[in-house]
Amino acid sequence: MKETDVIHVSKDRPEKGKYVKPLFRGLSFIFKNFLTKPVTLQYPTEKTQRSQRWRGLHRLEVDEKGELKCVACGLCARICPSEAITIIPYEEEGKTRYPKKFVINELRCIFCGFCQEACPKGAITLTEVYDYIDYNRTDFIFDIEKLKHPEKLEFKGK
Ligand code: SF4
Ligand code: SF4
């Protein structure tokens, strides 16, 4: 919106009986904008395009067999400045190590992205999901199941 489009009601108040010009100014403003594309988005069904570097809720990535890529090395938990990640590793003899428990406290997280940077397996990424809402604090403590499907947690309205 340009400065010329703004009508300062108190400053430009016309003298008594001289309302026709301001009335047409107002009407012309309405008609001009009536024909332009609205900028309003119907959130939550419509959402703005997020930057590729956006850092939203975490995702634990899986391989083509659907297995977690995470090998529970603990680097992400070590580097996390908020101490938001808790991992309990598990390893069967001769088999790959994996996380028995992998928990992220999304309320502590500052979405810095260090965990994603530090992971040697590309096993944890930050997604575009930014509008998860809930009523209980405990619901923001994400376990493996929640971390595997953050897109399910996106707010889509009722
Ligand atoms: S994004 Fe940053 S604060 Fe959040 S879990 Fe990862 S390292 Fe920790
Ligand atoms: S750094 Fe990667 S592989 Fe290591 S525990 Fe974290 S998510 Fe798993």
pLDDT in tens, 101-116: 999 999 999 999 999 9
pLDDT, position 35? 87
Peptide bond into 44 cis (omega under 30): yes
Q: What average pLDDT score do residues 6-26 get?
A: 76
pTM exceeds cut of 0.85: no
Ligand 1 geometric centre to CA of 49 (Å): 23
pLDDT in tens, 46-99: 998 999 899 999 999 999 999 999 999 999 999 999 999 999 999 888 788 999
Phi, psi of 148 (to 5 degrees): -75, -25
Asked if pLDDT for residue 6 goes beyond 80, the answer is no
Mutation choice for ligand 2 from 59, 73, 78, CB with most ligand atoms inside 8 A: 73
What CATH architecture does domain 58-153 belong to? 2-Layer Sandwich (3.30)
Which residue in 71, 64, 52 sits closest to 124, CA to CA? 71
